[in-house]
Structures are given as structure tokens and as C-alpha cells.
Amino acid sequence: MIPLASALSYFQAVVLGLLQGVTELFPISSLGHTVLFPTLFGWNALVKAQSQSESFWLAFVVTLHVGSALGLLFYYRRDWVQIISAFFRTLATRRIETATERLAWLIVLASIPAGIIGLALLGAMSMALIAGRGS
């Protein structure tokens, strides 16, 4: 296994973090970019680390995504507070009266199919990932 210190420099981490931050908001794969970018720039130690079964790479990519999510939550915090407040207000009043209250319920309703599909595919995806590690 390649040690983290020799596989990923501070410069590479910053470049990949900036790439993640910029591409996260566009309808393109930010994950794909963080995987392909090291190959395009010849960062061979990092490319090798990506393909190892026991690698820091997955934790690094997850950290990039968590950072993006936290940044977006912080930036849109006022909107989220309004939406969450509107959701609880509809529970108390038992009616939807404003656009924000409607948006809150649309977010809840739109999340249900994604959750059902995720749960339905969980077993198959776990088996596929486990089978992929064996090769």
C-alpha cells in the first residue's frame, strides 16, 4: 500500500479540492473529474493508490464531497432554515399556504422514490462492490 504522504501532495489535494468545488454545482460528474484528473496530469502515485483495495483514496473523495455539501449548506443556510421552518409550520397548521411550505413538501416527496430505489438496490450494489474487490 502506498503511504498517503507519498501519493498525494498538498498541491494535488488543493487542485482536486478546487476541481470538486467547481464541478459540484454543474450537471457533470465531479467524482469522474477527481478520478480522471490525476491520470491526465500524470500523477502516477495517486493513480496507483486509486486502484488499491486498501487505499486512502475513497476517504479523500468522500471528504471532498462532504466539504462541498457543508459549504453549500452554509451558503444556503437561510434558505434551509426557512424551508425547515415551513415544513414544521405545516405540521402544526395542517395546511400548506406559502410557496416555501409547498417547496418543503415537494422536497420530502421527491426524496421518497430515491430512498426506495436506494434501499432496493442496496443489496445488489453491495454484492457488486464486494465482487469487484476480489478481482
Mean pLDDT of the 36-63 span: 85
Integer Cα distance of 71 and 76 in angstroms = 9
Per-residue pLDDT, 117: 92
What is the tens place of the pLDDT at every residue in 83-131? 999 999 999 999 999 999 999 999 999 999 989 998 888 877 777 766 6
Provide the sign of the torsion angle of the four alpha carbons 21, 32, 29, 72, taken in this order. Answer: negative
Integer Cα distance of 28 and 35 in angstroms = 13
Q: What is the tally of structural domains in the chain?
A: 2
Q: Provide the pLDDT confidence category of residue 77 given band limits of 50, 70 and 90.
A: very high
Same structural domain, 14 and 61: yes
Q: Provide the pLDDT confidence category of residue 3 given band limits of 50, 70 and 90.
A: low
Same structural domain, 3 and 64: yes
Q: Write down the mean pLDDT value for the chain.
A: 86
Same structural domain, 96 and 68: no
